[in-house]
Structure 1
Amino acid sequence: MTHVNVLDPGASPLDYYGFELRRLREAAGLTQRQLGDILNYTGSLVGQIETARKVPTVEFSERADAALVTGGLLSRLVGLVLRSQLPSWFREVAELEARATEICTFQTHMVHGLLQTPAYVSSVLGVLDETDLDDRTAVRLARQRIFEKDEPPILWVIISEAALHQEIGGPAVMRGQLAHLLSFERNPRINVQVLPFTAGAHAGSQGSFTLFRFESDPAIVYTEGYGSGHPTANPDTVADCSLRYDHLRAAALSLKDSAELIRRVMEERYGEEPSGGDPVA
């Protein structure tokens, strides 16, 4: 008799997902291999997800919902599962991103996670540790689903020109990443400005930070260190960072000029015309 690993659905969101997937599959009278064939995945992958050894993706969940006629149950669960897989110190930030009506961020050396492409994410996360890299990449990309909401947040991103030149993942990865930034040129809810080298000394010299604003709750400032995050609603800190952000926005290039600089760096440094970039996950 085959041993069946029995999950405790209350142990974690990942365990609950696996429990529900197995329940739905068995109710449909399908083996793991049969369901895998229908979904165009291996039966082994289905088994790993059912036993909470593999993190499901959004695409897997959508296919399984359609095949098992779940009414979208797994697609609703997968967001919770992916958020639970974030580092514990970062989960609060993901919650802030999901609740915010406006996000204003300044980044000194790389593209913000909400605008990263899959290849760029993989290159960033793979430094020093390639363990479960596909799963960790999917988890980070899942944060971008906030832009699929009926009322997505307004995002203002100011990046240092250095981030355009920091070659993460190689020329092809950077071409795709910069093209992705250009794909938002006509999106009024996602705005990208570049702080050029010529700006000299600036109000963000102490490092990257993000401001989260909400419909009714106080604004929050978030800064980050190695393996730790520091959100605060201290009014003095929020006021200081809000002022700094206003000055950074004034010192940065306009939206149009920023796009022209991104395009120029992409063509001159990475050697290819923009092709629209990867879609937001």
Structure 2
Amino acid sequence: MVLTRRDIDPSESPLAYYGSELRRLREAAGFKQQRLGDIIYCTGSLIGMVENGRRIPTRDFSERIDAALGTDGHFSRLVGLVLRSVLPTWFRAYAEMEARATFISTFQAQVVYGLLQTEAYAKALLSVEFPDRADDIAAARIERQRILGRDEPPALMVVLDEALLHRNVGGREVMRNQLSHLLSFADRPWVQIQVMPFSSGEHSAMTGSFNLLRFDREPDLFYRESYDSGHMTANSQLIKQRSVGYARLQADALSPRESALLIARVMEERYGDQPALA
């Protein structure tokens, strides 16, 4: 099935511009939707939905389009704008600053920090509130993680509450892969992951998750989010207090090595292969 052409205004949104460019360059290359779909191993209807602004393109889709049409990375560059536009409006300002930060410190009380989530874990989280948009928002979240693959990535300091290791998000396989993903960062020199164990009792972040961003030439930022909004501030007194609090968190948490051992143990004991019931 190939979708009927729908005229869209390319200035309407990044997605509309992407779709109009895909249609323009596909037609210039002399391809029908189905033919282009065959070349990049997808359906012609998917090509049509992207052109009509009804489907969010992925980075993989964009890279294959560039290869098929010989567009020299045009769609691979555009897709970043498209995926950022999918993020909740109130979150976009933080995502922009996160991408520019040189040092990120975060404490997470309930879920794995977005930059460290697997796609399956992100989809499972998002499907609770956004069942119709979980795939698209998860793709945008994974796009944020590209900053960790830069030649000079930001330093990322993470403290995770032990509770989130035990919270079964998406099922055993999803959680096992997520915890394995956390362990894969052990050899990354710019990433440090620590776990705040239950045995630590009360600590300096009992009021909830927060992030601290530092920059080379801009003021530090403090960020915290609630159900449907985010609060970001450069208030120096608050940042001083939270920075001291974060240092205390790191001191009270398990060391990176001890944290990795705990993550591995939870992964095997809670999410490992289970014997079949008799």
- Short-chain TM bin: over 0.9
Instruction: Quote the Cα distance in structure 1 between the aligned partners of 2:63 and 2:148.
Output: 18
Query: Which amino acid in the other structure matches residue 125 of structure 1?
Result: L
- Does the 8 Å CA contact 2:66/2:73 hold for their aligned counterparts? yes
Aligned counterpart, 1:107:
108
2:90 corresponds to 1:89 = yes
- Does the 8 Å CA contact 2:58/2:139 hold for their aligned counterparts? yes
Aligned counterpart, 1:7:
8
Matches within 5 A, 1:5-44: 5-44=6-45
Number of residue pairs the alignment of both structures matches: 271
- Does the 8 Å CA contact 2:127/2:133 hold for their aligned counterparts? no
Instruction: Quote the Cα distance in structure 1 between the aligned partners of 2:5 and 2:197.
Output: 58
The DSSP-based 3-state class of the residue aligned with 1:159 is: strand
Aligned counterpart, 2:60:
59
2:257 corresponds to 1:243 = no
Query: Which amino acid in the other structure matches residue 253 of structure 1?
Result: L
Instruction: Quote the Cα distance in structure 2 between the aligned partners of 1:192 and 1:230.
Output: 24
2:152 corresponds to 1:143 = no
Aligned counterpart, 2:133:
132
Q: CA deviation at 1:135?
A: 1.6
The DSSP-based 3-state class of the residue aligned with 1:185 is: helix
The DSSP-based 3-state class of the residue aligned with 2:187 is: coil
Instruction: Quote the Cα distance in structure 1 between the aligned partners of 2:59 and 2:130.
Output: 24
Aligned counterpart, 1:277:
none
Q: CA deviation at 1:129?
A: 3.4
Instruction: Quote the Cα distance in structure 2 between the aligned partners of 1:248 and 1:36.
Output: 51
Instruction: Quote the Cα distance in structure 1 between the aligned partners of 2:146 and 2:55.
Output: 20
Instruction: Quote the Cα distance in structure 2 between the aligned partners of 1:186 and 1:232.
Output: 33
Aligned counterpart, 2:189:
188
Moved more, 34-43 or 3-12: 3-12
User: Would the alpha carbon gap of residues 195 and 3 (structure 1) be closer, same or farther in structure 2, given more than 3 Å must change?
Assistant: closer
Q: Which runs of 5+ in 1 are unaligned?
A: 273-281
Aligned counterpart, 2:235:
234
Aligned counterpart, 2:264:
263
User: Would the alpha carbon gap of residues 104 and 7 (structure 1) be closer, same or farther in structure 2, given more than 3 Å must change?
Assistant: same
The DSSP-based 3-state class of the residue aligned with 1:210 is: strand
Instruction: Quote the Cα distance in structure 2 between the aligned partners of 1:58 and 1:83.
Output: 12
- Does the 8 Å CA contact 2:4/2:48 hold for their aligned counterparts? no
Instruction: Quote the Cα distance in structure 2 between the aligned partners of 1:194 and 1:92.
Output: 28
Instruction: Quote the Cα distance in structure 2 between the aligned partners of 1:56 and 1:231.
Output: 30
Q: Which runs of 5+ in 2 are unaligned?
A: 274-278
Instruction: Quote the Cα distance in structure 1 between the aligned partners of 2:134 and 2:106.
Output: 26
Q: CA deviation at 1:141?
A: 1.3
Instruction: Quote the Cα distance in structure 2 between the aligned partners of 1:125 and 1:201.
Output: 29
The DSSP-based 3-state class of the residue aligned with 2:195 is: strand
Instruction: Quote the Cα distance in structure 1 between the aligned partners of 2:200 and 2:76.
Output: 45
Identity %: 55
The DSSP-based 3-state class of the residue aligned with 1:221 is: strand
2:213 corresponds to 1:212 = yes
Q: Which deviations, in whole Å up to 9, do the C-alpha atoms of 1:119-170 show, x marking residues without a partner?
A: 1111100114311322222122111111222321111110001111111111
Taking only aligned residues, the RMSD between alpha carbons, in angstroms, comes to: 1.2
Aligned counterpart, 2:200:
199
Q: Which deviations, in whole Å up to 9, do the C-alpha atoms of 1:15-65 show, x marking residues without a partner?
A: 111111111111110011110000101110101111111100000000001
Q: Which deviations, in whole Å up to 9, do the C-alpha atoms of 1:161-181 show, x marking residues without a partner?
A: 111111111111110110000
Instruction: Quote the Cα distance in structure 1 between the aligned partners of 2:166 and 2:13.
Output: 41
